[in-house]
Amino acid sequence: MTKSEWQAIFEAKELFGLGDRATLGEIKRSYRNKCKQYHPDLVGSDKEKGNMMRKLTRAYDVLLRHYDQFRIPLVPTDSDMLEPEDWWMDRFGQDPLWGKKKS
C-alpha cells in the first residue's frame, strides 16, 4: 500500500472514531451512527451535511475494502509505507530480470 492509501485509512478511522484494531462490526456500527447524524432525509437538505454523507460513504468504502483485502488491523508496518517502486525493489531487487530500477 502507498502512503496515500494509508493516509485515506487514517482519515477514515479518525472520521468514525475507530481504534487501530476495529472489527467489521465496529466499522459498520460507527458508519450507521454517523449516517443518522448527517443523512439528508433525516436532517433536511443542508448542502454541507450532504457533502458529509459523501465523505462518510467514501471513508466507509476505504475501510471495508482494506478490511476485506487484508483482514488486518488498521495500522501500517514500516514495509507497508513504501512507495510502489520501493516496494517492488524490496521484494524483487535481487532478481536479474525484474530488479532493475527505471531511469
pLDDT digit string, tens, across residues 34-61 = 988 887 777 676 677 668 888 999 999 9
| Ranges of each domain in the chain | 3-92
Superfamily for the 3-92 domain:
DnaJ domain (1.10.287.110)
Q: pLDDT by residue (tens digit) across 4-33? A: 888 898 899 999 998 877 888 888 899 999
What's the burial of 34, exposed, middle or buried (CB within 10 Å: 0-12/13-18/19+)? buried
pTM of this prediction exceeds 0.85 = no
